[in-house]
Amino acid sequence: MQKQIDTNPQLPLYGVTNRFCALDILVGCEESQTVMKALREIGHNANSCDLQECSGGEPEHHYQMDIFKAIELKKWDIIILHPPCTAMAVSGNRWYGVGQPRHQERIDAVKWTQKLWDKATSVCECVALENPVGVLNKMGNFPKPNYIQPWQFGHGETKKTGFWLYGLEPLKPTDIVEGREQKIWKMPPSEDRGKLRSKTYPGIAKAIAEQWAGNGW
């Protein structure tokens, strides 16, 4: 994110070549804290938020509360959202599609996510919402998504992921590697399968931190 800096050309900042400004960043619906920690590693005041306890080991940087309430806590410079995708992803069409028993859950999920997007973009100049290929644009009022793959960021796997952006630029690939394995889809059933499937790849989290937050100016 780039902010305008008021400088006086008659008063140069001698010896200063890389100024840094820590941003206040909220990472919503993220119990893993992967993105939050990537942001804090480069110096930003990032906090994760989820109704669940965090599993990333930094509870002091986690709001265990409703995301709408967390948005109201302060004036955030960037808000990054990872809303639950189960009912909205096209991979769940056989359960949540039109005419299926759980279709109402899809309708409710899209309405909730739309409300979240509208709230975040009404109070913050830079917002990103992450979700896999789904029905957000078909059933909601969202901008066109920008899709990325893990293999563009150092992970030899496939998992097409969309980012809906407001005031932010699309992520640029940082490390294109070989490998197109669908490890996510091959995960065996377990209590933590949902959490593991939704966790952000470290390479993508690093790109988010460096490209969207950077040095803060």
pTM: 0.87
Class (C level, CATH) for 24-213: alpha beta
For 32-83, how does the pLDDT look when each residue is reduced to its tens digit (9 = 90+)? 999 999 999 999 999 999 999 999 999 999 999 999 999 999 999 999 999 9
For 136-147, how does the pLDDT look when each residue is reduced to its tens digit (9 = 90+)? 999 999 999 999
DSSP assignment of the chain, as one string?
--------TTS--TT-SS-----EEEEET-SS-HHHHHHHHTT-EEEEEESSPPSSS-GGGEEES-HHHHHTSS--SEEEE----TTTBGGGHHHHSTTSTTHHHHHHHHHHHHHHHHHHHHH-S-EEEEEESBSHHHHS--PPPEEE-GGGBT--B---EEEEEES-PPPPPSB--S--B-TGGGPPP-TTHHHHHHPPPHHHHHHHIIIIITT--
Domain ranges of the chain: 24-213
